[in-house]
């Protein structure tokens, strides 16, 4: 069992739909990163959070430390949101990554 | 702020050859991380530096791999006697301060193909 697990692995959506990606972790963490990776490999940090909820534009990230669970929500999804979304847990100064969720949003 | 840069972006080599990758972090970032990502998987931690000191190495980092950050600025990752299993994307990231809560900023990666 991976220390950081994501679901679903693949997700397709119609433009405008509300998207939820889930992340569960089994290790102790000081913070959790949500990252976006486009084809070609570049990784962009979306959020880093250690409690509660953060919002940036159409993206919302929440974390429940007691339940060791985090979610990434995308409201009003758009084809440009198509990418791989990765959650990564900060554990003793390094990141432990999930395997990613591949999202495709169709017009 | 030019972000984290990595060179080369792509490298194709024959099995048995040595390769070296370079990472230039965001200036004044104390911490520099190396990760490896194979197709369809999330990145895996390889090693990290705080300034010029290499603080931790993963068991993934066999004795064919060596990383340096001689002046606490740029870093190099060398793979000796490459094997086909070394084919992957090698990612570098930097963060501004010590401690596990600081956001990491990633470079574009170096994609290695070993023939």
- Which of chain B's residues have a Cβ under 8 Å away from the Cβ of A100? 41-42
Structure confidence at residue A93 (pLDDT): 76
Looking at the complex, report in whole angstroms how far the Cα of residue B2 sits from the nearest Cα belonging to chain A: 14
Which residue in B30, B25, B14, B40 sits closest to B91, CA to CA?
Answer: B25
Structure confidence at residue A40 (pLDDT): 75
CA–CA gap between residue A44 and residue B3 (Å, rounded): 11
Structure confidence at residue A92 (pLDDT): 76
Across B4-87, where does the E strand assignment appear?
A: 5-7, 10-13, 19-24, 31-37, 44-50, 53-57, 65-68, 75-79
CA–CA gap between residue A85 and residue B21 (Å, rounded): 26
**Does residue A57 register a pLDDT over 70?**
yes
Nearest by CB to residue B89, choosing from A41, A91, A99, is A41
Determine the residue of chain A that is closest to B42 in CA distance.
Answer: A99
User: What does the mean pLDDT of chain A come to?
Assistant: 93
Structure confidence at residue B48 (pLDDT): 93
User: What does the mean pLDDT of chain B come to?
Assistant: 91
Structure confidence at residue A12 (pLDDT): 97
**Does residue B1 register a pLDDT over 60?**
no
Q: Which of A31, A93, A98 is the best substitution to test chain B (most B C-beta atoms within 10 A)?
A: A93
**Does residue B76 register a pLDDT over 70?**
yes
**For chain B, first and last CA: distance in Å?**
36
Structure confidence at residue B67 (pLDDT): 96
Which residue in B114, B77, B81, B82 sits closest to B92, CA to CA?
Answer: B77
Return the percentage of chain A with pLDDT > 90, whole number: 80
Q: Using CB atoms and an 8 Å cut-off, which of residues 30-69 of chain A contact chain B?
A: 30-31, 33, 35, 40-45, 48, 50
**Does residue B98 register a pLDDT over 90?**
no
Structure confidence at residue A1 (pLDDT): 66
- Which of chain A's residues have a Cβ under 8 Å away from the Cβ of B98? 93
Q: How far is CA A71 from CA A99, B2, B38, in A?
A: 15, 31, 24
Helix (H, G, I), strand (E, B) or coil at B46: strand
Contacts of B71 (CB under 8 A, 6+ apart): B52
Q: Which of B5, B99, B100 is the best substitution to test chain A (most A C-beta atoms within 10 A)?
A: B100
pLDDT tier at B66 (50, 70, 90 boundaries)? very high
Contact by Cβ (8 Å): A59, A81: no
- Which of chain A's residues have a Cβ under 8 Å away from the Cβ of B56? 93-94
Looking at the complex, report in whole angstroms how far the Cα of residue B72 sits from the nearest Cα belonging to chain A: 18
How far is residue A102 CA from its own chain's centroid?
10
**Does residue A58 register a pLDDT over 70?**
yes
Contact by Cβ (8 Å): A105, A8: no
Average pLDDT value for residue range B29-53:
92
Looking at the complex, report in whole angstroms how far the Cα of residue B104 sits from the nearest Cα belonging to chain A: 7
Query: What are the tokens at A38?
Result: 């486009």
**Does residue B100 register a pLDDT over 60?**
no
**Does residue B13 register a pLDDT over 80?**
yes
Cβ–Cβ gap A42/B108 under 8 Å: yes
pLDDT tier at A22 (50, 70, 90 boundaries)? very high
Does B39 touch chain A if contact means CB atoms closer than 8 Å?
A: no
Q: How far is CA B101 from CA A32, A62, B19, B25, B97, in A?
A: 8, 16, 32, 18, 9
């Amino acid at each position: 069992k991976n220390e950081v697990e994501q679901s679903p692995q693949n997700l397709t959506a119609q433009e405008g739909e509300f998207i939820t990606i889930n992340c569960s972790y089994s290790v102790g963490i000081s913070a959790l990163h949500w990252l976006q990776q486009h084809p070609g490999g570049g990784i962009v940090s979306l959020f880093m959070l250690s409690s509660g909820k953060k919002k940036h534009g159409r993206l919302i990230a929440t974390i429940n430390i007691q339940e060791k669970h985090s979610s990434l929500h995308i409201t009003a999804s758009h084809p440009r949101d198509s990418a791989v979304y990765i959650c990564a847990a900060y554990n003793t100064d390094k990141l432990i990554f999930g395997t990613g969720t591949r999202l495709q949003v169709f017009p | 702020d030019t972000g984290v840069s990595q060179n080369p972006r792509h490298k194709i080599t024959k099995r048995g050859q040595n390769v070296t990758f370079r990472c230039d972090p965001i200036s004044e970032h104390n911490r520099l991380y190396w990760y490896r990502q194979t197709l369809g998987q999330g990145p895996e931690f390889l090693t990290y530096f705080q300034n010029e000191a290499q603080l931790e190495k993963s068991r993934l980092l066999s004795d064919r791999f060596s990383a340096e950050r001689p002046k606490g600025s740029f870093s190099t990752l060398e793979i000796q006697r490459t094997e086909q299993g070394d084919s992957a994307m090698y990612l570098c990231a930097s963060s501004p301060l010590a401690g596990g809560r600081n956001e990491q900023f990633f470079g574009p990666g170096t994609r290695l193909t070993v023939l």
